[in-house]
Structure 1
Amino acid sequence: MAQLLSFILLLFVIDGLAARPAGWLQKELLTANTGKDAAYLNQVERETLMYLNLARLYPKRFVELELAHYWGNDKHGNFLTNSSYKESLIKEMSSMQPVQAFYPDRVMSASARCFALEKERIGGRTHERLSCKTDRFAECISFGMDNGREIALQLLIDHLVPSLGHRWLCLNSDINKVGLGFAKHKTAGVSLVLEMDFYYTQ
């Protein structure tokens, strides 16, 4: 009976995900799903948060289950074939120690959603805000990926981004609060804005 109840709980916790995580243990999914009770997050935002947490909490398992055999998708093709960026992430995560999970923040999520909706209206791929308040949070933006797994992978792999700034932030052990905002995008189809409690002083 206890095992049945645990299985039902797991289904409830991850119900509605665009892609059911394969190979992960129940306790790993429960630990990573820190946004499950955040009513202000939508499905894609919760899913993105969970996959980023799986990468942070279980880096070697993430390489095995999510990264090693990911080459792209139907929409964008196999754009990661022979990608040195993917290979460098595999190397980094295979030797890194686990770091604390991200937890969602309501205020930061409101800021992220405001900017995502602004992008829906006007498009563009910069971090410059027009009508939304400019905060000093660190910020990542994913373009063109419509589910949490691929958003997380895009930010972590950082394909063709020489600075690897998104990856550095997503795996940074000093960050634990984040805000997420997912919306349609005028030119990219969709975008997700990720705000982080890492404050730039310059």
Structure 2
Amino acid sequence: MKRLLTLSVIFLLTQLFFSCATLDKLNSFSASMNKKSEDSMSKKNQDTDKWDIAKLDTARNVDYLSTIEKDVILEMNKARSNPTLYAELYITPRTKKFDGKIYNDSIVTNEGITVVNECISYMKKSKPLSILNPEKGLSLAAQYHSSTQGETNQTGHTGVDGSDPFSRIKKYGTFKTAGENIDYGAKSGRDIVVQLLIDDGVSSRGHRKNIMNKDFSSTGVGYTKKHKAYGSVCVITYAGGYMEK
């Protein structure tokens, strides 16, 4: 049985509020890591008849993100633009794959189907939000952290150089509010975003709140497949009032 890990942090300059999910909060909702993901980001699985992909796919033409990094931004924009539809299409189907706290015959969860139903309810009650636009500086900050964690097999928000998410972002720009999510183990953009939205085992639901934060307008993503313990690392940075240097 597998367990996966997610971490979230948010810092609001205007409110001086800080919260961080601890390392023992495990999230376990990606599909089996040893098979082709059921949430493959192929063209056939983009549901183009249900989404305005041209509007939501804000990162597709940038040259500093990989395909999966662009997919993460697309999925977050889908979730923000129509939370109810996102829940119906991509979260509700997961309720059929639980046996107690075991998901998809291979993933050990903390809360079982309860947190999935809670997430569905949350999304259906949420109002549509503005979409996120990619920023190179935010992506460079995320990519630095994901790549160095992959190389060193570390986890957490503290960088190998002692940096925190906000000092990494400040290297490239200024912001009024900022946050960071980290997912370990998921292998597709959709799995990453759905796993963070469900937020199994994280009482604050910090990942979900970061994705659905109305004050965030900019984002960056860093993804690597080279983490020895979890197989992959995806770091997502967020900011409001962001200006690159």
Does the alignment reach a TM-score above 0.5? Answer: yes
Task: Give the distance between the partners of 2:201 and 2:106, measured in 1 at CA.
Answer: 15
SS at match of 2:93: coil
SS at match of 1:68: helix
Deviation at 1:62, TM superposition (A): 0.6
| TM-score of the pair, normalised by structure 2 | 0.68
What residue in structure 2 maps to residue 114 of structure 1? Answer: 144
Distance 1:57 1:80, change over 3 A: farther
Distance 1:85 1:115, change over 3 A: same
Q: Counterparts of 1:94-133 in structure 2 under 5 Å?
A: 94-131=124-161, 133=163
Task: Give the distance between the partners of 1:125 and 1:75, measured in 2 at CA.
Answer: 26
| TM-score of the pair, normalised by structure 1 | 0.81
Count of aligned pairs between the two proteins: 184
Distance 1:109 1:35, change over 3 A: same
Pick the structure with more strand per residue: 2
Task: Give the distance between the partners of 2:82 and 2:187, measured in 1 at CA.
Answer: 24
SS at match of 1:178: strand
Distance 1:135 1:190, change over 3 A: closer
Deviation at 1:77, TM superposition (A): 3.6
Task: Give the distance between the partners of 1:20 and 1:49, measured in 2 at CA.
Answer: 18
SS at match of 1:70: helix
What residue in structure 1 maps to residue 87 of structure 2? Answer: 63
Task: Give the distance between the partners of 1:45 and 1:168, measured in 2 at CA.
Answer: 20
Conservation of the 8 A alpha-carbon contact between 2:56 and 2:74: yes
Identity %: 23
Residue among 179, 186, 194 paired with 2:228:
186
Task: Tell me how large the CA RMSD over aligned residues is.
Answer: 2.5
For structure 2, the residue ranges without an aligned partner over 5 or more in a row are 1-39, 98-102, 167-177
Deviation at 1:31, TM superposition (A): 1.9
What residue in structure 1 maps to residue 30 of structure 2? Answer: none
Task: Give the distance between the partners of 1:112 and 1:75, measured in 2 at CA.
Answer: 32
Q: Look up the equivalent residue of 1:120 and give its one-letter code.
A: G
Q: Look up the equivalent residue of 1:131 and give its one-letter code.
A: D
Residue among 187, 203, 209 paired with 1:146:
187
Task: Give the distance between the partners of 2:92 and 2:129, measured in 1 at CA.
Answer: 20
For structure 1, the residue ranges without an aligned partner over 5 or more in a row are 1-15
Distance 1:187 1:18, change over 3 A: farther
Deviation at 1:169, TM superposition (A): 0.6
Conservation of the 8 A alpha-carbon contact between 1:56 and 1:101: yes
What residue in structure 1 maps to residue 19 of structure 2? Answer: none
Conservation of the 8 A alpha-carbon contact between 1:111 and 1:133: no
Distance 1:103 1:129, change over 3 A: same
Distance 1:163 1:19, change over 3 A: farther
Conservation of the 8 A alpha-carbon contact between 2:129 and 2:214: yes
Task: Give the distance between the partners of 1:78 and 1:30, measured in 2 at CA.
Answer: 37
Pick the structure with more helix per residue: 1
Distance 1:118 1:41, change over 3 A: same
Conservation of the 8 A alpha-carbon contact between 1:48 and 1:152: yes
Deviation at 1:80, TM superposition (A): 8.5
Distance 1:80 1:19, change over 3 A: farther
Task: Give the distance between the partners of 1:22 and 1:107, measured in 2 at CA.
Answer: 28
Conservation of the 8 A alpha-carbon contact between 2:165 and 2:180: no
Deviation at 1:106, TM superposition (A): 0.2
Deviation at 1:114, TM superposition (A): 0.5
Distance 1:84 1:75, change over 3 A: closer
Residue among 56, 69, 74 paired with 1:32:
56
